[in-house]
Amino acid sequence: MTATSLDQIISLCKRRGFVFPGSEIYGGLQGIYDYGPLGVELKNNLIAEWWRANVYERDDMEGLDAAILMNRLVWKYSGHEETFNDPLVDCRTCKSRWRADHIHGRCPNCGSTDLTEPRPFNMMFSTQVGPVADSGALAYLRPETAQGIFVNFANVLATTSRKLPFGIAQVGKAFRNEINPRNFLFRVREFEQMEIEYFVMPGTDEAWHQQWLEERLRWWDSVGVPRERITVYDVPPDELAHYSKRTYDLMYQYPDLGPQEIEGIANRTDYDLGSHSKDQASLNLTARVTPNADSTARLTYFDPERRHHVVPYVIEPSAGVGRGVLAVLCEAYAEEMTRALPAEKLQAVTDALTAFLKSVGRSEKLHPEARDAMLAYGEAIGNHLPERLPEVEPLLAMPGAETIELGKKLRGQAQPLIDEHFRTVLRLRPRLAPVKVAVFPLKRNHDAMVETARRIRRQLQLELGARTVYDDTGAIGKLYRRQDEIGTPWCITVDFDTLGEGKEPTLTDTVTVRDRDSMAQERVPIADLPLYLREKLR
Q: Which residues bind ligand GAP (CB under 6 A)?
A: 144, 146, 176, 178, 187-188, 191, 193, 195, 261-264, 316, 318-320, 322-323
Which of 326/507 has CB closer to ligand GAP? 326
Question: Residue 127 CB, nearest distance to ligand GAP (Å)?
Answer: 18
Q: Are strands 166-175 and 61-64 parallel, antiparallel or unpaired?
A: parallel
Question: Residue 313 CB, nearest distance to ligand GAP (Å)?
Answer: 15
Question: Residue 175 CB, nearest distance to ligand GAP (Å)?
Answer: 9
- Which residue type does 226 have? P
Question: Residue 301 CB, nearest distance to ligand GAP (Å)?
Answer: 21
Residue spans of alpha helices (H) in 235-301: 271-275
Question: Residue 321 CB, nearest distance to ligand GAP (Å)?
Answer: 8
Distances (CA, A) of 194 to 66, 110, 232, 242, 416: 13, 38, 19, 21, 43
Which of 146/425 has CB closer to ligand GAP? 146
143: number of Cβ within 10 Å = 20
DSSP string, 202-235: TTSHHHHHHHHHHHHHHHHHHTT--GGGEEEEE-
Q: For residue 523, give every residue at least 6 positions away whose Cβ sits within 8 Å of its Cβ, in sequence order, or none.
A: 507, 510, 511, 512, 513
Which of 268/411 has CB closer to ligand GAP? 268
Question: Residue 77 CB, nearest distance to ligand GAP (Å)?
Answer: 15
Question: Residue 247 CB, nearest distance to ligand GAP (Å)?
Answer: 8
Q: Which residue minimizes CB distance to ligand GAP?
A: 320
Q: How many Cα atoms occupy the beta-carbon half-sphere of 298 within 13 Å?
A: 13
Residue spans of alpha helices (H) in 223-314: 271-275
Q: Is 9 exposed, middle or buried (0-12, 13-18, 19+ CB in 10 A)?
A: buried
- How far is residue 519's CA from residue 225's CA, in Å, rounded to a whole number? 23
Which of 188/417 has CB closer to ligand GAP? 188
Question: Residue 191 CB, nearest distance to ligand GAP (Å)?
Answer: 4
180: number of Cβ within 10 Å = 17
- How far is residue 406's CA from residue 364's CA, in Å, rounded to a whole number? 15
- How far is residue 454's CA from residue 456's CA, in Å, rounded to a whole number? 5
DSSP code at position 109: T
Q: Is 5 exposed, middle or buried (0-12, 13-18, 19+ CB in 10 A)?
A: middle
Q: Are 98 and 107 in contact (CB under 8 A)?
A: yes
- How far is residue 119's CA from residue 243's CA, in Å, rounded to a whole number? 21
SS3 512: strand
Q: Can you list the positions of beta strands (E) in 478-518? A: 490-494, 510-515
Question: Residue 252 CB, nearest distance to ligand GAP (Å)?
Answer: 9
Question: Residue 267 CB, nearest distance to ligand GAP (Å)?
Answer: 12
Question: Residue 397 CB, nearest distance to ligand GAP (Å)?
Answer: 26
Q: Are 473 and 439 in contact (CB under 8 A)?
A: no
Question: Residue 319 CB, nearest distance to ligand GAP (Å)?
Answer: 6
Which of 78/468 has CB closer to ligand GAP? 78
Which of 317/378 has CB closer to ligand GAP? 317
124: number of Cβ within 10 Å = 18
